[in-house]
Amino acid sequence: MRIQAIVRRIVRQFKRDKRSLGLMIVAPLLVLTLIWLVLDGDDYEPKIAYDNLPNPFVDTIDDYAQEIVSAKPDEANELLKDGEVDAFITIEEATPIILLEGSEPTSNSAVMRLFQEAVSSIDTGSPIPEPEVEFYYGLADLGLFDRTGPVLIGFFVFFFVFIIGGISFLRERTQGTLEKLLSTPIKRWELVSGYVIGFGIFTIIQSLIIVLYSIYVLDMFMVGNFWELLLVTILLAITALTLATLLSSFANNEFQIMQFIPIVIVPQVFFSGIFNLETLDTWIQVLSQFMPLTYGAEALQSMMIKGQGIQDVWFELLILFGFALIFFILNIRVLKKHRAL
Amino acid sequence: MAFVEVKGVSHAFGKEKVLEGINLNIEEGKIFGLLGPSGAGKTTLVNMIVGILDPNEGDIFIDSKRVPSFELMNLTGYMAQSDALYQELSARENLEFMGSIYGLKKSELQQRIKSVLQTVNLLDHLDKPVEQFSGGMKRRLSLAASLLHQPKLLILDEPTVGIDPVLRQEIWDEFRSLQQQGITIIVTTHVMDEANKCDELALLRDGEVMAQGSPHQLMDAYDVQSIEEVFLTVGGGK
């Protein structure tokens, strides 16, 4: 079986070329960790305004906060508006109320952490009710890393599979093995299938490790089903792979593959959900509809943050599958350039 | 009936004409040389015979079957100008890959790998990665890869480029012994002393066949002492 021969060869090559394998798996982990360090740093000590809090509670807050001021509600609003404090904490009818400034996710989570620590460190004898959290600006109650995490997972899977897949297929051409292969009775679809399956094995390993690392080591917010999430990342990886092998036909060397990064990859990062698109011009929103990562990121976000399942994101998955299928077919057609048969 | 027939083949890449009205008949069991300077269109013509490239005009037949066809691709072995080897893999793994693409069965494959590596004298380097091979070893391994499926027609594009004279002699000895097994060989070259070793020659220049015949016929026809002079006479006359 020719497809099997290609698959086995790709696996063997990867086993020899450990650095490429490393780039595909370790590099995403490293970059995710760096982003986590920047976005999820918990060293920030928030500035707090308070009103009507019991004294021991104020004392504990003071231990954790950078600065605390006592303020009446309307004074607190002024302080929040001027950015002087990160939150206003008060108690109404025995329920703590936290009014977060809201625009800066890092300080939001710092305030919440501070409150939890303050609560756990004082012994009131009776449980303190869950606080009511309100926002002065915005609604985001998650850390920036939690919110963008799913998009980042999608992006790094996409990016590194794209690079490795594109360059491998290109090398097939520059080292002459494509020509040699096409002088054998192999069918063009067998060649492309072999590539998808061979690389598919490694994208599964890559996805598994990245998802595990993000959730269990970086503690990314995740309420969805692990295996369903893995399925989405693998589908996204296959889309990246088929796109990469397709585009590598239009590159003459490794450097030209790199040139696809600003054209194909970077726009997808900007328009796939890290930034809110709803306020942007319509043409950008339309453009984002043509980007595979938009659907991958949307599905990942829905699953990890909202806890949705496959049945809720079937539309996004269908589109991703469609992208992969179209790239696959185009790839077979483009190979006609190298052999008409 | 010729084994390989090239009939009225013309081809252009965009506006640049590469081949113009090529007619060739190559008999079974012969070593046929395509001689010409670089850029003459040798590789283009060879790619067409292999079936990778479709000519704009004209037809090519191998064993009376029209090129390209998958059936013929099983019949031909092709060694391109580049070595077409996977650097990370060992000689054995490269050959295993090519062999399974040709659909050779496991036991048969191992036996064929031994046999072709014996032929090109690389059996001692069976499990060495190709990246540790010298240029000449890679060339020989490429040749071995094109012999794996026992082709009836062997097409070799500049097989001895970058190979020292001793090794070149060995490779040509190998061609002779393949010929004795009934294999037809088409070989491109721009090395004149190699041209002398062919049974039949076609001189290609600027995409046209300038002359065709055995080395002796050609030298007699132009009344010169070497193929090099034939080449200069024919080329200079234009």
pLDDT at A265 over 80: yes
State residue A79's pLDDT score.
Answer: 85
> Which CATH class, in words, describes the domain spanning B4-191?
alpha beta
Are residues B86 and A13, on separate chains, in Cβ contact within 8 Å? Answer: yes
A-B contacts at Cβ under 8 angstroms: 83
State residue B238's pLDDT score.
Answer: 43
Fold for A47-135, please state it.
Answer: D-Maltodextrin-Binding Protein; domain 2 (3.40.190)
How many C-beta atoms lie closer than 10 Å to residue A121's C-beta? 14
Q: Give me chain A's average pLDDT, please.
A: 84
pLDDT at A281 over 80: no
Mean pLDDT along residues A216-221: 83
List, as ranges, residues 174-213 from A with C-beta within 8 Å of B.
175-177, 179-187
Are residues A2 and B100, on separate chains, in Cβ contact within 8 Å? Answer: yes
| A218/B contact by beta carbon, under 8 A | no
* Sign of the C-alpha dihedral computed for residues B60, B63, B68 and B72 taken in this order: negative
Q: How far apart are CA B49 and CA A135, in angstroms?
A: 74
* Domain boundaries, given as residue ranges, for chain B: 4-191, 210-238
Task: Sort out which chain A residues have CB atoms less than 8 A from B52's CB and list them.
Answer: 179, 182-183, 338-339
Are residues B51 and A341, on separate chains, in Cβ contact within 8 Å? Answer: yes
pLDDT at B106 over 80: yes
pLDDT at A291 over 60: yes
Q: What is the largest CA-CA distance in chain B?
A: 56
Output the six-digit token pair for A230: 């893995």
The candidate with the shortest Cα–Cα distance to B87, out of A16, A222, A106, is A16
| A95/B contact by beta carbon, under 8 A | no
State residue A191's pLDDT score.
Answer: 93
User: Which of A20, A179, A188, A193 to mutate to test binding with chain B, by most B CBs within 10 Å of its CB?
Assistant: A179
State residue A231's pLDDT score.
Answer: 92
Output the six-digit token pair for B106: 């496991």
pLDDT at A38 over 80: no
Output the six-digit token pair for A155: 């992006």
State residue A272's pLDDT score.
Answer: 76
Alpha helices, H only, B159-226: 165-180, 192-195, 215-222
Q: How far apart are CA B112 and CA A336, in angstroms?
A: 31
Task: Sort out which chain B residues have CB atoms less than 8 A from A188's CB and list them.
Answer: none
Task: Check if the beta carbon of residue A167 is closer than 8 Å to that of residue A254.
Answer: yes
Q: How far apart are CA A75 and CA A54, in angstroms?
A: 19
More confident: A322 or B170: A322
Confidence of residue A123 (pLDDT cuts 50, 70, 90): low
For residue B128, how far is the Cα from the chain centroid?
Answer: 26
Mean pLDDT along residues A216-233: 87
How many C-beta atoms lie closer than 10 Å to residue A325's C-beta? 13
State residue A240's pLDDT score.
Answer: 94
What 3-state class would DSSP assign to A291? coil
- In this complex, which of B50, B54, B84 lies closest to A176 when CB atoms are compared? B84
The candidate with the shortest Cα–Cα distance to B92, out of B65, B130, B119, B62, is B130
Are residues A2 and B69, on separate chains, in Cβ contact within 8 Å? Answer: no
Q: Give me chain B's average pLDDT, please.
A: 88
pLDDT at A194 over 90: yes
Mean pLDDT along residues A246-269: 88
- In this complex, which of B78, B83, B93 lies closest to A183 when CB atoms are compared? B78
Percent of chain A scoring above 70 in pLDDT: 92
Mean pLDDT along residues A86-107: 79
The candidate with the shortest Cα–Cα distance to A57, out of A98, A107, A2, A27, is A98
Q: Flag whether the ipTM exceeds 0.95.
A: no
| A2/B contact by beta carbon, under 8 A | yes
